[in-house]
Structures are given as structure tokens and as C-alpha cells.
């Protein structure tokens, strides 16, 4: 696993408000990255991106001074990676494909739990 990766958040963003279905992070994570408003921006940004006329975007990569944020849409499930700038972005994109079936299973499980009275 990438040693500079400091957080990973799957989130159900088709629901309003979007529901965080899991998280994995260490102490180095900036507090703002855990705010619901921060994690919900991807849906909006992706929607705005469609105005560029190149179709809907599925992945956004944001580079900041000390951190990078990679957000992706996995069929209605928004997955957010927060890493340091040294973190290998290409590796994040590659491992997200491996995580995809696991996260879909997790989504199905949480949907089932949410539907229980």
C-alpha cells in the first residue's frame, strides 16, 4: 500500500445529504478533509465539469501545497483519497480499480442495513 496515503473515504453521494459509509485515516489527516461539505464537493464539481462539453467526469485530482485529493465516482459511490503531495497518484488510480468490487459489496451491505427498521 502507498505509504503516503493518509485517508480513504467511500461515500454514498447519490443520497442527500450524502452518507459516509466508511473511513480509514491516520492522525496526519487535516480536519477540513473530514468535513461533510468537503467530501460532498465532488458531485458538484463533476456536474460543473460536464459544462466543458467532454461528457461526465468520473475522477478529479486536486493538488494542494501539502496534500492531494483524488475523488472518483464508482457508480454512485464517491471514493475520496487524501494523500501527501509525494503520494503516487497513478497508483491510487490503479488500486481504486481493485477496490471497486469490495466497495460495491460494502455499499450493498450498508444499503441493506439502512433499510432495516
User: Can you give the binding site for other proteins, defined by CB under 8 A?
Assistant: 2, 88-95, 97
Nearer residue to other proteins within complex by CB, 88 or 110: 88
Closest separation in Å from C-beta 70 to other proteins: 10
Question: Cβ distance 106 to 17 under 8 Å?
Answer: no
Nearer residue to other proteins within complex by CB, 39 or 70: 70
What is the C-alpha to C-alpha distance for residues 51 and 43, in angstroms, rounded to an integer?
A: 14
What is the C-alpha to C-alpha distance for residues 18 and 11, in angstroms, rounded to an integer?
A: 7
Nearer residue to other proteins within complex by CB, 18 or 59: 59
What is the C-alpha to C-alpha distance for residues 97 and 99, in angstroms, rounded to an integer?
A: 5
Nearer residue to other proteins within complex by CB, 94 or 102: 94
Closest separation in Å from C-beta 85 to other proteins: 9
Closest separation in Å from C-beta 76 to other proteins: 22
Closest separation in Å from C-beta 90 to other proteins: 2
Secondary structure E strands in the chain = 5-12, 19-20, 24-25, 59-63, 67-74, 77-84
Amino acid at each position: 500500500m502507498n505509504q503516503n496515503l493518509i485517508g480513504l473515504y467511500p461515500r454514498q453521494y447519490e443520497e442527500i445529504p450524502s452518507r459516509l459509509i466508511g473511513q480509514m485515516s491516520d492522525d496526519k489527516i487535516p480536519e477540513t478533509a473530514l468535513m461533510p461539505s468537503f467530501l460532498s464537493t465532488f458531485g458538484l464539481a463533476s456536474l460543473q465539469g460536464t459544462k466543458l462539453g467532454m461528457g461526465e467526469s468520473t475522477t478529479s485530482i486536486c493538488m494542494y501545497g501539502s496534500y492531494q485529493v483524488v475523488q472518483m465516482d464508482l457508480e454512485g459511490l464517491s471514493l475520496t483519497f487524501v494523500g501527501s503531495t509525494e503520494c503516487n497518484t497513478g497508483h491510487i488510480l490503479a488500486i481504486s480499480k481493485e477496490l471497486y468490487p469490495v466497495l460495491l459489496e460494502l455499499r450493498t451491505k450498508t444499503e441493506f442495513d439502512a433499510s432495516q427498521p
